[in-house]
Structure formats: C-alpha cells, structure tokens
Amino acid sequence: MAIVNRTPDSFWGGNRHAELDSALQALREAVAAGADIVDVGGVRAGAQGPVVDAAEELRRVMPFLEAARTEFPDLVLSLDTWRSEVAREASSVGLDLVNDTWAGHDPDLVHVAAEIGAGIVVSHTGGLPPRTDPVAVTYADEQGGDDLAVVRDVLRVLAEGAAAAVTAGVAPERVLIDPTLDFGKTTRHSLTVLAHTGDLAVLGYPILQALSRKDFVGETLDLPADDRLEGTLGATAIAAWLGATVFRAHDVRATRRVVDMVATIRGDRPPALSVRGEP
C-alpha cells in the first residue's frame, strides 16, 4: 500500500504532494515500483499544522482520485479519512477501500463503506480523537508490570471494530485490521504490539501494518524521519514473517523487495529465478 499525501505538512518531507502533478508522478512511481494499493490522504495525522475541514480535504483528494482511476482503472484505491461525508463524496470514483485511521471516530463511516461496496481498515488509537498526539498513555494493568496489556487492548478493539464493520454490511473479506503503531501508543507500546503481530491472526482478518518511518522507529534508533528507512525495513521483515500481509509504505520499491523476500523464505512465493547450480 503506497502512501500519497496531498498535504504540504506531512511529517516526512519526502511525501508532501500539495501539487496535483507531484502527487500523480508519485502515483506512477509507486505503481512502477510494485504497489498493489495506493492510499491517498488529505489531512496530516498529527496535531501540528492547520485545521483542515471536509471541504478542503475533498479539494485535495478528489482530483487525485479521479485522475488515478482514469490512468489506472484496475488499481486498488484507498482513501485515508475519518469523515463519512468525505468517503461518500469520493465514492463517485469507485473507491475500493476506506482507511479509517482514527478507529471509528465518525460512527457513520463504516456504514458509508458498506453502502458504496468498499472495504474498510479497522484501526486502534487508544481512544484518542483525530489528530491527537499521545501523552502519558497507559493501558490497564501496566502499572503492575503487565507489558501485554496494550496487546490485549488492541485485540479487543480490533475484534469489536471488525465485528461492527461486518454488522454494518462490509463483506468480511473486505475488512483489514491495523494495530496502528504510534497512534495512542508510546514507543514501547508500538514495539510490543509489533512483536505480537502474529497474535492478531486469531481474529481472522488480513493484518495491515503501517510502519513507514514512524516515530517508534526513530526513537528506537534515535534517528530523524529522513534516516528511518533501514529501521522501517527491519520492522517490515519481522511483521511479514509474523503474518502481516499489507504494508502501508512511503518507500515502495524497498518495501516490495523485503516483503517478497520474506514471502519466499516462508514458502508463500517461489523465487523469480532458480538457476544457480542447476544442470
């Protein structure tokens, strides 16, 4: 899942595409590099930056979605939004997926996804509202030394969110679950949840991991966003080995290669070539 941010203030400077031409060039490069899904967003996730209302969000994402659908009619198009009115308007382009990064903050969003026949990403944010950075976040029982409290909370929230999506009418095979690292989590929380990616498989839905250049990588290695690629790829390899199947990424080519390599080692994908030592 390639990321295209139609924003001037995304946390990583390498993915700021306020101009449509820049966004469309990023789209073409992502597809050429092996993206199966392209996820476009019109609002920065963090608290910094100006308020972006629904009208401005639509002004940013709609021209991109329309052009993307025309140029790549079979590409899976995903919209990163927490607003039901934005998703409903975007349905005119044949939207395939709604990436609800803020865990059902707008309760109508899942119903819109069902109405338009789109899939939905169910996320976990620790109960925080949109564009809220975590501060002094704890989960039940942590004070007693229970480091897995956050994992149990992620499992509970994702199970409830996925069930609500199916009840609303989203086809079960169109539901993805995302533990949403960094959102509502400390770096230690994110690392713990990442290490327990495999535990999410019990829920029975495809697992999406959004790891790309995030703060938990930066804090782990003490690196700014520009220098977090290797850490991201290390986390990607671990998550892929543990069963994640969708990866939201800024660096599509590198991520595609890591995921393909892990899939081959796991036995899920044959080598592209196998001629060394053959007669």
Residue 207 forms beta bridges with which residues?
Answer: 177
Q: Give the C-alpha distances (Å, rounded to integers) separating 258 from 252, 255, 265.
A: 10, 5, 11
83 annotated active-site: no
Residues 277 and 279: their CA atoms lie apart, in Å, by 7
Angle at 90 between CA 112 and CA 42, to 5 degrees: 110
| Count of Cβ atoms closer than 10 Å to residue 259 Cβ | 22
Residues 252 and 257: their CA atoms lie apart, in Å, by 9
Residue of 16, 44, 60, 248 marked catalytic? 248
Which residue is listed with tokens 């972006």?
A: 52
Backbone angles phi, psi at 79, to 5 degrees: -115, 120
The one-letter amino acid code at 92 reads: S
Q: Could you report how far apart the first and last alpha carbons of the chain are, in Å?
A: 39
In 3D space, the residue among 46, 5, 45 whose CA is nearest the CA of residue 22 turns out to be: 5
Helices (H), 175-228: 187-195, 215-221
Residues 217 and 232: their CA atoms lie apart, in Å, by 6
Write the CB contacts of 210 (distance below 8 Å, at least 6 apart in sequence). 178, 180, 181, 247, 248
60 annotated active-site: no
Residue of 44, 60, 214, 228 marked catalytic? 214
Write the CB contacts of 267 (distance below 8 Å, at least 6 apart in sequence). none
In 3D space, the residue among 53, 98, 63 whose CA is nearest the CA of residue 80 turns out to be: 98
Instruction: Name the residues annotated as catalytic.
Output: 214, 248
